[in-house]
Amino acid sequence: MKNVAVFVPNREQFGNITTQIPMLYAIRKQYPDAHITVYTRSGNSRVLVDAGVADALINYQHWHFMKVLRSLRNGSFDTVFNVYSGSERIHLAVLASGIKRKYAFSDSGLIDKLGLYTRHMLVDKGKQYIALDNLALANAALGTDFDTTIIKALGREAPEEKSTLTLVPGGGAGEFKVWPVENYCEAAKQVFDDAENISRICVVLGPQEAQKAGQVEQLLAEYPYEIVLSPSVNELIDLASASALTLSNDCGPCHIFQMMKVPMIMIWGWQIHPDQCRSPYHTLTNWYQNSDDSWCVFPTESEKRIDTIPVERVTSLSLMQLARNTLTA
């Protein structure tokens, strides 16, 4: 593989984009000299270039079919990966491109039976963590067996001692995902006071949470803390490598910690509308990667709102996990 094209899903959220990193890094790791071009419909995919897992972006937003096809035919690509599984238009363009090696997954039995891809994986979409679908395709094409923790190599050398409690109070998708920042800080203070293996608290705030920095400063004033604003992917990997435990809700940055399999407490809430309540349980199959040291906290069925989850539940789970860390160290 010398010149690789990769079609990624039509989603602009940071979390979705980061789940493509293990797949891209697997290609990079096996073929360090390959030039990897990501075909995307979102400028936010630039983070893949910034992270070092892609070399170029082609934004084909508003392109018609023939323009996509011409771009593929004129790109001198020898390999193409298509993880934009739901687009028949992109499948057709890839299959008509004349590129020698073509890899894809989808839930289309017809595409699978036609056998036009070099390798097509028939998947039941939404039934496992999305990064695993992406990475499984790379493993099948490359003959490798990587797991999502390979992204660790994109950071600096990991510290010998993991003693940071990292808080990731994101929630750009809506208030139903937001556990109050004062709850995060209170939980962090209790954990710091009761756990012997935590030496500092790190708070990750994205652009939509940046205004909470002053509140965090007041709440954690008597504790050793650091606020990290809008960290890069590589900086998030460094934070994950230093973390003994992460407290987070379902948000974009949490996927770096999930893929690194950092000990983690994830906090979930129901999406509540006037005429309907939507539970978080269906979301887990696609957006949660369970590991030996990962735990989920939900509100009670009667309460449903994320802000009704008491600090004590998060704190007790955190201390239990930190005790497990000590036993397995």
pLDDT at residue number 172 = 67
Asked if residue 187 and residue 100 are part of one domain, the reply reads no
pLDDT at residue number 160 = 73
pTM for this one?
Answer: 0.95
| Residue ending a domain, choose from 93, 124, 154 | 154
* Phi–psi pair at 324, nearest 5 degrees: -65, -40
Identify whether 309 is part of a domain. Answer: yes
| Residue ending a domain, choose from 112, 134, 154 | 154
pLDDT at residue number 159 = 75
Asked if residue 126 and residue 176 are part of one domain, the reply reads no
**Tens-digit pLDDT profile for the chain (329 aa)?**
899 999 999 988 999 999 999 999 999 999 999 999 999 999 999 999 999 999 999 999 999 999 999 999 999 999 999 999 999 999 999 999 999 999 999 999 999 999 999 999 999 888 899 999 999 999 999 999 999 999 999 998 777 789 999 999 987 677 889 999 999 999 999 999 999 999 999 999 999 899 999 999 999 999 999 999 999 999 999 999 999 999 999 999 999 999 999 999 999 999 988 888 899 999 999 999 999 999 999 999 999 999 999 999 999 999 999 999 887 76
Scanning 44-83, the segments in alpha helix (DSSP H) are 46-50, 65-74
Q: Is 133 helix (H, G, I), strand (E, B) or coil?
A: helix
Asked if residue 269 and residue 126 are part of one domain, the reply reads no
Q: Count the Cβ atoms, other than its own, within 10 Å of residue 145.
A: 7
**Which H or E run includes 314?**
helix 311-328
C-alpha 128/C-alpha 284 separation (Å) is: 8
Kindly tell me the burial class for residue 318, based on how many C-beta atoms sit within 10 Å of its own C-beta (0-12, 13-18, 19 or more): buried
**What DSSP string runs through 249-300?**
ESSSTHHHHHHTT--EEEE---EEETTEEE-SHHHHHHH----TTEEEE---
Identify whether the C-beta of residue 166 lies closer than 8 Å to the C-beta of residue 51: no
Number of independent structural domains in the chain: 2
Q: Count the Cβ atoms, other than its own, within 10 Å of residue 242.
A: 19
Identify whether 159 is part of a domain. Answer: no
Beta bridge partners of 177: none
Instruction: Supply the range of the domain harboring residue 7.
Output: 3-154
